[in-house]
Amino acid sequence: MKSLLGKKILVTGATGGFGREFAKQLHGLGAHLILSGRDQSKLDDISGTLGPSPSGGKVIGTIKADLSNRAGCEELYAGCTAITTGLDVLINNAGIIAYGDFHQVPLDTWERLMETNLLAAMRLTYLFLPAMLKRKQGHIVLMSSVAGFVGTRNSTAYSASKFGLRGFGLSLYGEVHPSGIEVTMLYPFWADTPILQSEDYGSKSTGKVIRAVVDRADDVVRESIAGIRKNKLSVYPGPVAKVLHLANKVIQIRGSQRKG
């Protein structure tokens, strides 16, 4: 997918840090966007600031939806199909985090996290995929994380959700790629988005991420979009993500050699 000009793209979590950047940059590349989030006023604000672009980019719809449950995913799907029956790209960007020791994070909180981060992406893919397969074209994008291949303490449920997305994406690719459907998984490190200010749970603070290693959201999204346009299966945007990916591969190789 070398050009995104006129491509109909759904971005979930469009009111968050990465979501806003996806909307802004895809708009500049001429995409026709459907933006989803939980706050309609924020969606209206994003849509209003974008407007028509010289490249032809525009927002063709905004849909308020809570993706932490099946009904919200079905409502988003229905809203999108009312706008277009030919979605080209589904960007599963919506995600939340809960900091703290796993046993001290409230049950309802981490269950909602798993619904939002993992099950929503699976549900939306399940709903949109049949039409893509019928047309023999489409692109599914999954926002995983470095935490999807390196377990992170004090965000255990978050890491589990991102590992889950990784497994889902790899398996899905094997099924749909022969039919002309692309799958891209994104593995960013920490970036300057509101997720860094998410609530701590439990008896101790999880501490703060060192600012020197925090990536810029616009850089992460720019590199992610470049990977999507090249139909890459895996994208590691930013220097820290790349280093950790390589380090993880070395550890896996050495571990397999010891077992041998």
In a domain, 3, yes or no: no
- DSSP label at residue 198: P
CATH code: domain of residue 218: 3.40.50.720
Q: Report residue 57 as tokens.
A: 């980019």
In a domain, 118, yes or no: yes
Catalytic residues: 158
In a domain, 185, yes or no: yes
Total domain count, the chain:
1
CA dist 69 and 44 (Å) reads 23
CA dist 189 and 240 (Å) reads 7
In a domain, 231, yes or no: yes
In a domain, 27, yes or no: yes
In a domain, 1, yes or no: no
Q: What is the residue-level pLDDT of the chain in tens, covering all 260 positions?
A: 789 999 999 999 999 999 999 999 999 999 999 999 999 999 999 999 997 788 999 999 999 999 999 999 999 999 999 999 899 999 999 999 988 999 999 999 999 999 999 999 999 999 999 999 999 999 999 999 999 999 888 889 999 999 999 999 999 999 999 999 999 999 999 887 766 666 777 765 655 555 557 889 999 999 999 999 999 999 999 988 999 888 887 766 555 455 55
Domain range holding 124? 8-259
CA dist 44 and 49 (Å) reads 9
CA dist 184 and 191 (Å) reads 19
Would you call 137 helix, strand, or coil by DSSP? Answer: coil
Residues 6+ positions from 27 with CB-CB distance below 8 Å = 33, 50, 53, 57, 58, 59
In a domain, 122, yes or no: yes
Residues 6+ positions from 198 with CB-CB distance below 8 Å = 96, 97, 98, 99
In a domain, 2, yes or no: no
In order of 60, 91, 179, the CA distances from 120 in angstroms are: 22, 11, 23
